[in-house]
């Protein structure tokens, strides 16, 4: 049965459209029309906003499950279900640096999730293990290693099999030829956890890298004589960059500077870097045999090293608006921009023929409902 969302201001990804109706047929958007079809189920959203669902490209866990600890179909189902209550309708479950057998299990689970059509599952983000020890962050240094021929062949053999594939790598551990081959196979290659210099970062952009993972964090900084990876992210139009806008990973002033400075067409988009505590009351969890503690809105190792984030996309969006970012642009940072960054054309905006992933928000941006593929996934 068709659904018609009436009475709301509709943000289609470009602009707000007033006095219209969002018509959904099955799992797709049929139209943004002047009136509801006579045979449609009416969803009354009077006085509210209808916006594209949020797309999060870095989600390590949720609902009590960390992908590293449960790289299974059931684990992915739980992780994908948890952030719907915060407005996320599509995500890349993210595997932090781990043993080769865990990587293979996660990829096998990703293939199963894609085949099963798990709601919200977009693909996988493999963050490591081919990173820099100098910028390891919370990644276990004993598990970080260069990409060898077997690693490369495994990724090439599985390209496209688990949906969208996002790879975070460091030039210190991955050759330019490998980046070119992986990008050519359809992977989005992102530079992250790297201490490489600006010139080398640009060389890897030429080789096929098109993204930077969690801007400012675990990368060479922007300085006046060596712009580093941060400088490359802001000055290279070919690069998109994820931003953890929780107020802890990046100072609010730095967030504003980066958003204003970014050279297009690449964009800065929002990510959460969420961990297993999302949607739970858990106060700690384990990663690679180490305890991560939850306190005061932060997740840290015992030594205080940040270990993922205790935030959600809606909070990050509001934090950007507090910096002066317009609502329309903040919404794009949470939906259209991440979709474009990984080449997804069926999500991120509201238009006929696209996936019916959308949110109903109150005027104060409180989430009322989340729809994934035209089905209610969360209701307040």
- If one counts the domains in the chain, the total is 2
Q: Are residues 315 and 363 in the same domain?
A: no
Looking at residue 308, its pLDDT comes to 87
pLDDT number for residue 212: 98
Tell me the binding residues for Zn(2+). 127, 193, 214
**Number of alpha carbons in the 13 Å side-chain half-sphere of residue 235:** 12
Q: Are residues 150 and 8 in the same domain?
A: no
Considering the domain architecture, whether residues 332 and 356 belong to the same structural domain is answered as no
* pLDDT value, residue 77: 98
Report d(CA 102, CA 95) in Å as an integer: 9
Helix (H, G, I), strand (E, B) or coil at 63: coil
pLDDT in tens, 24-52: 999 999 999 999 999 999 999 999 999 99
pLDDT in tens, 78-89: 999 999 999 999
DSSP-based helix, strand, coil % in the chain, nearest 5:
30, 30, 45
Which CATH number covers residue 195? 3.20.20.140
Q: Which two tokens stand for residue 96?
A: 């932090």
State whether 184 and 211 are in the same domain.
yes
pLDDT of 1 reads: 83
58 and 181 inside one domain: yes
| Own/partner pairs, 177-185, CB within 8 angstroms, 24+ separation | 177/207, 178/147, 178/152, 179/204, 179/207, 179/208, 179/209, 180/207, 180/208, 181/152, 181/156, 182/152, 182/155, 182/156, 182/208, 183/207, 183/208, 183/209, 183/210, 184/208, 185/155, 185/156, 185/159, 185/160
What confidence tier does 16 reach under pLDDT thresholds 50, 70, 90? very high
**CA atoms of 358 and 27, how far apart (whole Å):** 11
Q: Which CATH number is 357's domain given?
A: 2.30.40.10
Give yes or no for residue 371 having a pLDDT over 90.
yes
Specify whether 337 is located in the same domain as 209: yes
- Residue 286: pLDDT over 90: no
Q: Which residues contact 195 (CB under 8 A, 6 or more apart)?
A: 132, 134, 135, 170, 172, 219, 220
Burial of 15 (0-12, 13-18, 19+ CB in 10 A): exposed
Name the residues annotated as catalytic.
273
User: Is the backbone peptide bond immediately before 129 cis, with ω within 30 degrees of 0?
Assistant: yes
* Binding-site residue set: 127, 138, 193, 214, 217-218, 225, 249, 306-308
- How far is Cα 98 from Cα 104, in angstroms, rounded to an integer? 10
Q: Are residues 36 and 93 in the same domain?
A: no
Between the two ends of the chain, the Cα-to-Cα distance in Å is 23
Read off the pLDDT band of 187 (50, 70, 90).
Answer: very high
CA 174/CA 149 separation, integer angstroms: 11
Please determine, for residue 339, whether its predicted confidence score (pLDDT) is greater than 90.
Answer: yes
What does the alpha-carbon distance between residue 367 and residue 380 come to, in Å, rounded to a whole number?
7
CB neighbours (10 Å) of residue 27? 15
Strands annotated E in 157-255: 164-169, 188-191, 211-212, 240-244
Do 364 and 283 belong together in one domain?
no
241 and 107 part of one domain: yes
Q: What is the pLDDT of residue 307?
A: 87
pLDDT at 163: 98
- pLDDT at 290 (0 to 100): 87
Q: Residue 309: pLDDT band by 50, 70, 90 thresholds?
A: confident
Q: What distance in Å separates the CA atoms of residue 380 and residue 378, rounded to the nearest whole number?
A: 7
Binding residues for substrate: 138, 217-218, 225, 249, 306-308
Residue 69: pLDDT band with limits 50, 70, 90: very high
* Average pLDDT score, the chain: 96
* Residue 101 tokens, joined: 């057998």
> Is the pTM value of this prediction over 0.95?
yes
Relative orientation angle of helices 198-207 and 228-235, to the nearest 10 degrees: 50
Query: Residue 359 and residue 274: Cα distance in Å, rounded?
Result: 20
Domain extent at residue 355 = 3-51+349-379
In the predicted structure, residue 112 carries a pLDDT above the cut 90: yes
Element (H, E) at 54: strand 54-59
Q: Specify whether 231 is located in the same domain as 255.
A: yes
Sort strands 164-169 and 123-127 into parallel, antiparallel or unpaired.
parallel
HSE value, Cβ hemisphere, 13 Å, CA-based, for 158: 26
pLDDT digits (tens, 9 = 90+) for 245-282: 999 999 999 999 999 999 999 999 999 999 998 888 88
Please write the tens of the pLDDT for every residue from 218-233: 999 999 999 999 999 9
Q: Are 245 and 364 found together in one domain?
A: no
Same domain, 68 and 91: yes
pLDDT above 90 covers a percentage of the chain that reads 91
């Amino acid at each position: 049965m068709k659904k018609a969302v009436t009475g709301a201001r509709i943000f289609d990804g470009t602009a707000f459209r007033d006095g219209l109706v969002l018509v959904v047929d099955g799992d797709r958007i049929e139209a943004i029309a002047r009136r509801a079809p006579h045979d449609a189920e009416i969803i009354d959203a009077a006085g509210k906003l209808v916006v594209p669902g949020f797309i999060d490209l870095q989600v390590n866990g949720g609902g009590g499950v960390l992908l590293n600890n449960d790289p299974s179909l059931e684990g992915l189902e739980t992780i994908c279900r948890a952030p719907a209550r915060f407005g996320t309708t599509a995500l890349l479950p993210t595997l932090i640096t781990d043993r080769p057998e865990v990587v293979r299990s996660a990829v096998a689970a990703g293939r199963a999730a894609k085949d099963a059509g798990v709601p919200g599952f977009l693909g996988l983000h493999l963050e490591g293990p081919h990173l820099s020890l100098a910028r390891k962050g919370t990644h276990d240094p004993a598990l970080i290693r260069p990409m060898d021929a077997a690693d490369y062949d495994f990724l090439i053999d599985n390209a496209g099999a688990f949906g969208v594939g996002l790879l975070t790598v460091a030039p210190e551990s991955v050759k330019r030829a490998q980046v070119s081959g992986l990008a050519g196979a359809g992977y989005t290659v992102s530079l992250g956890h790297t201490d490489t210099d600006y010139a080398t970062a640009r060389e890897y952009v030429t080789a096929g890298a098109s993204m930077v993972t969690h801007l400012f964090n675990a990368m060479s900084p922007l300085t006046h004589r060596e712009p580093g990876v941060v400088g490359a992210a802001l000055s290279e139009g070919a690069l998109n960059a994820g931003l953890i806008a929780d107020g802890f990973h990046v100072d609010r002033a730095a967030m504003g500077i980066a958003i204003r400075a970014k050279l297009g067409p690449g964009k800065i988009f929002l990510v959460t870097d969420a961990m297993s505590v999302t949607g739970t009351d858990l106060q700690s969890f384990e990663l690679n045999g180490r305890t991560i503690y939850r306190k005061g809105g932060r997740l840290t190792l015992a030594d205080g090293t940040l270990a993922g984030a205790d935030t959600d996309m809606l909070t990050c969006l509001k934090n950007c608006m507090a910096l002066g970012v317009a609502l329309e642009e903040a919404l794009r940072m949470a939906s259209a921009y991440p979709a474009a960054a990984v080449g997804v054309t069926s999500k991120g905006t509201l238009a006929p023929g696209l996936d019916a992933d959308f949110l109903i928000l109150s005027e104060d941006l409180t989430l009322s409902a989340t729809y994934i593929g035209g089905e209610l996934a969360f209701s307040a």
